[in-house]
Amino acid sequence: MSRDQDFVTLGHGGGGLLTQRLIREHLVRLLPAGEAILNDAAALEVPGARLAFTTDSFVVTPRFFPGGDIGKLAVFGTVNDVAMRGGVPQWLSLSLVLEEGLPVAEVERIVASIQAACEQAQVQIVTGDTKVVERGAADGVYINTCGLGVIPDGINLAADQARPGDAVLVNGTIAEHGMAVLLAREELGISGDLVSDSAPVHRATRALIEELGPDVHVLRDPTRGGLAAVANEIAQASEVQIELDERSLPCREVVQGACELLGLDPLLVPSEGRFVAFVADQAKQRGLEVLQSQPGGAEAAIIGRVTEDTGGRVVLGTSAGTRRLVDLPSGEVLPRIC
Amino acid sequence: MSRDQDFVTLGHGGGGLLTQRLIREHLVRLLPAGEAILNDAAALEVPGARLAFTTDSFVVTPRFFPGGDIGKLAVFGTVNDVAMRGGVPQWLSLSLVLEEGLPVAEVERIVASIQAACEQAQVQIVTGDTKVVERGAADGVYINTCGLGVIPDGINLAADQARPGDAVLVNGTIAEHGMAVLLAREELGISGDLVSDSAPVHRATRALIEELGPDVHVLRDPTRGGLAAVANEIAQASEVQIELDERSLPCREVVQGACELLGLDPLLVPSEGRFVAFVADQAKQRGLEVLQSQPGGAEAAIIGRVTEDTGGRVVLGTSAGTRRLVDLPSGEVLPRIC
Quick one: three-class SS letters along chain A?
A: CCHHHCECCHHHHCCCHHHHHHHHHHHHHHCCCCCCCCCCCEEEEECCEEEEEEEEEECCCCCEECCEEHHHHHHHHHHHHHHHCCCEEEEEEEEEEEECCCEHHHHHHHHHHHHHHHHHHCCEEEEEEEEEECCCCECCEEEEEEEEEECCCCCCCCCCCCCCCCEEEECCCCCHHHHHHHHHCHHHCCCCCCCCCCCCCHHHHHHHHHHHHHHEEEEECCCCCHHHHHHHHHHHHHCCEEEEEHHHCCCCHHHHHHHHHHCCCHHHCCCCCCCEEEECHHHHHHHHHHHHHCCCCCCCEEEEEEECCCCCCEEEECCCCCEEECCCCCCCCCCCCC
pLDDT at A15: 80
pLDDT at B309: 79
pLDDT at B25: 84
Other Cβ atoms less than 10 A from the Cβ of A147: the count is 33
CATH of the domain at A266: 3.90.650.10
pLDDT at B335: 83
Residue B178 in domain: yes
Query: From residue A152, how far is each of A50, A149, A198, A213 by CA, in Å?
Result: 7, 9, 25, 11
Which of A72-81, A223-232, B23-32 comes out lowest in average pLDDT? B23-32
Residue of B nearest to A61 (CA): B133
Rounded to whole angstroms, the Cα distance separating B327 from B310 reads 14
Mutation site for A-interface testing, chosen from B24, B31, B57 by largest number of A Cβ within 10 Å: B57
Is B139 close to A133, i.e. CB distance below 8 A? yes
With 80 as the cut, is the pLDDT of residue A39 above it? no
Same domain, A96 and A207: no
Question: Among the three residues B109, B125, B151, which one is the final residue of a domain in this structure?
Answer: B151
Residue B107 in domain: yes
Q: Which residues of B touch A27 (CB under 8 A)?
A: 94, 111, 128, 130
Q: Which residues of B touch A128 (CB under 8 A)?
A: 23, 27, 30-31, 37, 55
In angstroms, how far is CA B46 from the centroid of its own chain?
26
Question: Among the three residues B87, B118, B151, which one is the final residue of a domain in this structure?
Answer: B151
Report the domain count for chain A: 2
* Torsion sign across C-alpha atoms A59, A73, A127, A42: negative
Same domain, A137 and A176: no
Ramachandran angles phi, psi of B269, nearest 5°: -95, 130
Mean predicted confidence (pLDDT) in B59-80: 97
pLDDT tens by residue, B95-107? 999 999 999 999 9
With 90 as the cut, is the pLDDT of residue B33 above it? no
Mutation site for A-interface testing, chosen from B146, B151, B224 by largest number of A Cβ within 10 Å: B146
Residue A13 in domain: no
Is B32 close to A94, i.e. CB distance below 8 A? no
pLDDT at A35: 58
Same domain, B103 and B181: no
Ramachandran angles phi, psi of A332, nearest 5°: -75, 105
Is residue A201 within 8 Å of A221, Cβ to Cβ?
A: yes
Residue bearing the bigger pLDDT, B180 or B2: B180
Mean predicted confidence (pLDDT) in A1-24: 80
Same domain, B176 and B311: yes
What's the domain range around B115? 43-151
Nearest to B8 among A41, A118, A132 (CB): A132
Nearest to B46 among A9, A115, A150 (CB): A150
Mean predicted confidence (pLDDT) in B6-23: 86
Same domain, B105 and B241: no
Residue B132 in domain: yes
Same domain, A146 and A176: no
With 90 as the cut, is the pLDDT of residue B140 above it? yes
Q: Which residues of B touch A53 (CB under 8 A)?
A: 91, 93, 126-127, 146, 148
Question: Among the three residues A120, A151, A182, which one is the final residue of a domain in this structure?
Answer: A151
Is A59 close to B131, i.e. CB distance below 8 A? yes
Residue A25 in domain: no
Nearest to A27 among B19, B128, B131 (CB): B128
Is A57 close to B96, i.e. CB distance below 8 A? yes
Mutation site for A-interface testing, chosen from B35, B39, B97, B132 by largest number of A Cβ within 10 Å: B132
CATH of the domain at A52: 3.30.1330.10
Ramachandran angles phi, psi of B227, nearest 5°: -60, -35
Same domain, A243 and A295: yes
Residues 90 to 119 of B: which have CB under 8 A from any A CB? Answer: 91, 93-105, 107-108, 111, 114-115, 118
Residues 40 to 59 of A: which have CB under 8 A from any B CB? Answer: 41-42, 44, 46-49, 51, 53-59
pLDDT tens by residue, A107-155? 999 999 999 999 999 999 999 999 999 999 999 999 999 999 999 999 9
Same domain, A200 and A123: no
